Structure 1
Amino acid sequence: MTSGFLSALGGRIAERWLAALALPGLLFLSAVTTAVVLGQEHWSDVDRLRAWLDTLAHSPASRSAGTVVLVAAGALAGAAVTGAAAQSLGTGVELLWCAQAHGPVLRYLADRRSRRWRAADASFRTALVTAGRARIEGTDHADRLADIAERRCADRDRIAWAPPRHPFWTGDRLAAPAQRLWRAHRLDLAAAWPHLWLLAADGTRAELQAARLRLTAAARLCAWGAGYLVLALWWWPAGLAGVVAVASGVRRGRAAADAFAELTEALADLHLRDVATALGVECAGVDDRVLGERLTRLLRKERREA
């Protein structure tokens, strides 16, 4: 039984290694080889690439089994190293997405997003008041004004779901649940999160972990795209792949961050009273805001004493 478990575990690890590191690394090394052989001047010369491959195939070294094994092992090792580098760069991309507004550049980006959000929020509130007044007066264009208010709200939410504090959308989206839960329930999400996680069902945890892994995979895709953009300096078609990879990575990262934030906020909304019950805090007939304040005081005290 143990050997079977270890075999299955080794198989899954090998599959993940191939999917995450080896295959993308081999593809990138193939692009590097193509760039070196063709360059910018002969970027579309397929015959030149075919002739180079034929020369390799007919060389005396290619008939040696040992040489073939060494080349294959070197290619796999190079792919693994390249994949590991992309993984590290992907971690950097993820950290950048969630970075605080430190430094002049990041502060400028955060301030710019904050100004845009405040302007969109003011526009939404003005449209909302206008629509409400028209509804009260019973004017014919009340429905049209309500639609305008909804569009203004959507425009504001596309910038951020809460007042922006980060340079990039992903950071604000991931921070939005904590801000919204504090305003709604006076709940410190950072202090309550370990308790919420322990009370969550296995299916909920799996969904959260899957969204988190999708965010990491999206950042890694952006890292691969950056590598192809650099490679475009020697072979410009690689830039097309880089642009597609970066754009796809950003889109997938936003979707993953949105899903993770939605699940986090839903988990807190659904299990606020469960946490109170587990900690022995009276919650029967207590308003959520009052209950959140009690939990926050209790959990922050436990964290300070720890």
Structure 2
Amino acid sequence: MTGFLSALGSRLAERWVSLLAIPGLLYTAAALVAATYGWWQVGIVGLLDRQARARLSESGVTPSLRNAMLTALLVAGILLVTAGAGLLARAIAVPVELVCCGAWPRWARPLARHLTKRRGRRWTEAHERVLAAPDEGDGSLRAELAAARNAIALVPPSCPTWTGDRLQAAEVRVRNEYGLDLASCWPRLWLVVPDTVRDAVSTGRDGFASAVLTGAWAVMYLALALLWWPVAAIALTTGLVSWWRLRTTAAALAELAESVVDVHAIDLAAALRIDTPHDRVTPDVGHLITERLRKGT
């Protein structure tokens, strides 16, 4: 047990350093520079340092002890600000994930509906080009047109964002292929899959969460740009990195979810004692599984 707790503590420390401490320290440095050389034109660090030195001088502290105390106070202050910035980024990551997945707030729903309809029109036009493509030749033209359509969305769009559509496409494709409701089946699937599958899905979810957290840092840097405009370049770069990582990790996570159903749906049927006449989960079998798991709701 002691070894397990030590290993767990070391892993948590590594995650804290990689996800919060280092990004928070960089953000703290940028905030100090922005506050010192930004629109305020006030040397915040120098002002606090002068005030602290004055207080310590009045208290009669020796110069050597005074310098040591100032250094300790500075380090403690930086650590506190760094931890606070990291916790703030984790809090901002929640609405950032909702926006990226298409769950926009009520006041933004008109814009969300407009973007969804626009994406739907683009997908429909691309799909019609696929259907109108001739069957002659090696089919490369149809495959190229299908790839262009799938780049918009794998199924007819229902979200204002590409990431939201890609994640929802997994649920739609599983329902169309197997008759399964992924939201109802996933917790039960998680109980029958081996540890290697769980580790792969957890790694994919961690990658997606890390991309969302990068987007939260981009929002914080954008707010900091109000104090000092050069920080806007950092916000833009961080936002672009987050956008690219969100698309890649969302696609990988959705593909993993579909793969788990493709490989282990029959194991779920066996665990529920539901027969699979053709040694596969057909839509009829999937509907039976879904009805069993929904329990009439």
Q: TM-score range by the shorter chain?
A: 0.7 to 0.9
Q: 5+ residue gaps in structure 1?
A: 43-48, 136-141
- Of the candidates 273, 293, 298, which is equivalent to residue 287 of structure 2? 293
Alignment of 1:152-301 (within 5 A): 152-285=145-278, 288-300=282-294
**Structure 1 counterpart of 2:189, which letter?**
L
Q: Is the 8 A contact 2:211 2:246 kept in 1?
A: yes
Q: Does 1:80 align with 2:83?
A: yes
Q: Report the CA distance shift for 1:12/1:273 in structure 2 as closer, same or farther (over 3 A).
A: closer
- Cα deviation, residue 122, structure 1: 1.0
Q: Report the CA distance shift for 1:274/1:9 in structure 2 as closer, same or farther (over 3 A).
A: closer
1:266-293 deviation digits (Å, cap 9, x = unpaired)? 1111112211111111113366222212
TM-score between the two structures when normalised by the length of structure 1: 0.83
**Mapped partners of 1:265, 1:84: distance in 2:** 33
TM-score between the two structures when normalised by the length of structure 2: 0.85
- Cα deviation, residue 228, structure 1: 1.7
Q: Report the CA distance shift for 1:83/1:117 in structure 2 as closer, same or farther (over 3 A).
A: same
Q: Report the CA distance shift for 1:303/1:73 in structure 2 as closer, same or farther (over 3 A).
A: farther
Q: Does 1:114 align with 2:139?
A: no
**Structure 1 counterpart of 2:169, which letter?**
A
**Structure 1 counterpart of 2:140, which letter?**
D
**Structure 2 counterpart of 1:109, which letter?**
L
Q: Report the CA distance shift for 1:299/1:152 in structure 2 as closer, same or farther (over 3 A).
A: same
**Structure 2 counterpart of 1:9, which letter?**
L
**Alignment length, in residue pairs?**
280
1:3-62 deviation digits (Å, cap 9, x = unpaired)? x443333333222222222221111111111122223699xxxxxx9xx79x98xx6869
**Mapped partners of 2:240, 2:260: distance in 1:** 30
**Mapped partners of 1:81, 1:66: distance in 2:** 22
**Structure 1 counterpart of 2:14, which letter?**
E
**Mapped partners of 1:273, 1:6: distance in 2:** 37
**Mapped partners of 2:88, 2:271: distance in 1:** 44
Query: What is aligned with 2:111?
Result: 105
Query: What is aligned with 1:29?
Result: 28
1:135-166 deviation digits (Å, cap 9, x = unpaired)? 3xxxxxx24xx322222111111111111111
- Tell me how large the CA RMSD over aligned residues is: 2.6
SS at match of 2:142: helix
Q: 5+ residue gaps in structure 2?
A: 57-62
The worse-fitting range, judged by mean Cα deviation, of 234-243 and 213-222 is 234-243
**Mapped partners of 1:83, 1:113: distance in 2:** 35
Identity %: 37
